[in-house]
Amino acid sequence: MRLQCHLLATGMFAALLSGCGNPPGYPKPETDVPRPEDQLSFSILYKQNCAACHGEGGQNGASIDLANPVYQALVDDQSLKKWISGGMPGTQMPAWAISQGGPLTDRQIDVLVRGMRGSWSRQNALGGESPPPYLQREKGDASRGQQDYDTYCASCHQRSTQQVSSPDYLALVNDQALRTIIVAGRPDIGHPDWRQDKPGTSLSSQNVTDIVTYLEALRSPTPGQPYPKHP
């Protein structure tokens, strides 16, 4: 009987000792919890840092749909890294690189770029056609741009929820963002790309530049102040 009690007491004491390193209610040792900079899963990094603006799965967010294969074919790796790392001035896109005050390492940004390419790039996304260049190359003309806007854009964007000519909207986007959406489209919300979904109505690079120049002329230099009325 004494031997049994001794063995029981010894077992209970050993159990107590084994639990001293991780008492109930306390977090696990730090070695069991990955540090934020060690996270290299594309799906986790995207969900934590990108999905709020660009949508789950890269679509249906407030900002451009990154899962658009035309967008992935239009923009190069260097530009993607540039916008992720340093943000996009004139928009709500902040800088994400640690060197710019953000939370992500250069390696994590590379994971995001590779993940987008691997998940959302498609062969022959452009159908063998050459889109207007991603960056503006020509000088724009606002008068021609207004005519092109009326011809190609106004029929959809006159709706109250899609008034891209409104200074309220233009205060949130810069010229590059406007150009990207016009060229790549936003298929997740029904916005066509530069081909306009109709034979013979494709936009040239000059058309795109002129439309962006026209919209730029409508942008208020003092966002947040009362806006002048435009006809």
Domain 36-120 adopts which CATH fold? Cytochrome Bc1 Complex; Chain D, domain 2 (1.10.760)
Average pLDDT of the residues in 124-152: 94
Q: In CATH terms, is domain 142-218 a member of 3.90.110.10?
A: no
pLDDT, position 7 = 45
Question: How far lies 163's CA from each of 23, 27, 149, 168, 214, in Å?
Answer: 59, 51, 12, 9, 14
Give rounded-to-5 percent helix, strand, coil for the chain.
Answer: 55, 0, 45
CA distance 209 to 138: 7
Better pLDDT: 58 or 1: 58
For the chain, residues classed under CATH 1.10.760.10 are 36-120, 142-218
Query: Quick one: tokens of 205?
Result: 């690079």
Q: What is the pTM of this model?
A: 0.80
Judged against a pLDDT cut of 70, whether residue 1 lies above it is answered with: no
- Residue-wise pLDDT for 41-86, tens only, equals 999 999 999 999 999 999 999 999 999 999 999 999 999 999 999 9
Residue 184's closest CA among 175, 194, 174? Answer: 194
